[in-house]
Amino acid sequence: MKAIIIDDERLARTELRRLLTPFKEIEIIAEAVNAKDAAEKITQLNPDLIFLDIQMPGKTGFELLEELESAPEVIFTTAYDEYALKAFEFNALDYLLKPIEPHRLEEAIKRVSVKTKADKFVTTEKQFLTADDQVFVKDGDRCWFVKLSEIRLFESEGNYARLFFNDFKPLILRTLNSLDERLDPRTFFRVNRKHIVNLKWIENIEPWLNGGLLVKLKGGQKVEVSRRQSVKFKDMLSL
């Protein structure tokens, strides 16, 4: 498993490397000293896992994750315990306090191993849900059996996702990443970190800020396509 250590303190990076030496399944492919450096290396090297400090010069570890289109698995490494709840809003596998204790690091690596095996099983077994498939949706006391072709937009709200169909906006306990893995990419496109759109519901497309695009859906919502995703978006829709 390819990993990047992200920490502004050289001694902390060196110590974590030393602690990771017994775990042969973890290959440290790079180190980063701040969020900007980390974003570039994550994009270039596509790691499976990052060990991420929170308080760094410039942007925090949380701000880094918010900017990524698709984040690797994350283990936070920090000297501050007050960010633990927020860390798990980002689906962190673990939250390690400095100085990192070897047995806690071992527990975290075991979580990585279990998650990796589970993901491989799901990837092997799964089939994409197509626009013709129907899904059961429950939000509180209300239930729907809705065809995916009728859902025009998925919007991330932490570990939940809001679905937009007809005049309904139910909230379900699914992350946007998990939905992105199941939905047919020929119909559903991840336009940015927070949204997946149904391509068949797009009414209008126009240029937007910083080289991005703005799509208007038939239901009235306007959603920005990030600059990075705009390239894929144009390739997908061009002849």
Mean confidence (pLDDT) of the chain: 89
User: Tokens 């191993």 identify what position?
Assistant: 113
Compute the average pLDDT of residues 206-216.
88
Compute the average pLDDT of residues 60-72.
86
Q: Domain 134-237 carries which CATH code? A: 2.40.50.1020
Angle at CA of residue 183, ends 180 and 189, nearest 5°: 65
- The closest alpha carbon to 99, from 169, 12, 206, 219, belongs to 12
pLDDT digits (tens, 9 = 90+) for 161-195: 999 999 999 999 888 988 998 899 989 999 998 99
Quick one: CA torsion of 90, 155, 38, 61, rounded to 10 degrees?
Answer: -40
- Topology given in CATH for the domain delimited by 2-125: Rossmann fold (3.40.50)
Residues 94, 115: Cα–Cα separation, whole Å: 12
Instruction: Determine the pLDDT at residue 72.
Output: 87
3-state helix, strand, coil in the chain (%, to 5): 35, 30, 35
List the chain domain ranges: 2-125, 134-237
How do strand 171-172 and strand 222-225 relate by DSSP bridges? unpaired
Within 28-185, residue ranges assigned H as helices are 35-45, 61-67, 84-89, 102-125, 176-182
Q: Is residue 223 over pLDDT 70?
A: yes
Q: What percent of the chain has pLDDT over 90?
A: 58
Phi, psi of 208 (to 5 degrees): -135, -170
Q: Which long-range contacts (CB under 8 A, 24 or more apart) does 12-20 make?
A: 12/53, 12/77, 12/98, 15/99, 15/100, 16/51, 16/77, 16/100, 19/100, 19/102, 19/105, 20/105
* Sheet order of strands, 73-78 included: 27-32, 2-6, 49-52, 73-78, 94-97
124: pLDDT confidence band, cut at 50, 70 and 90? very low
pTM of this structure:
0.56
How is residue 227 written in tokens?
């600059």
Position 118, amino acid: A
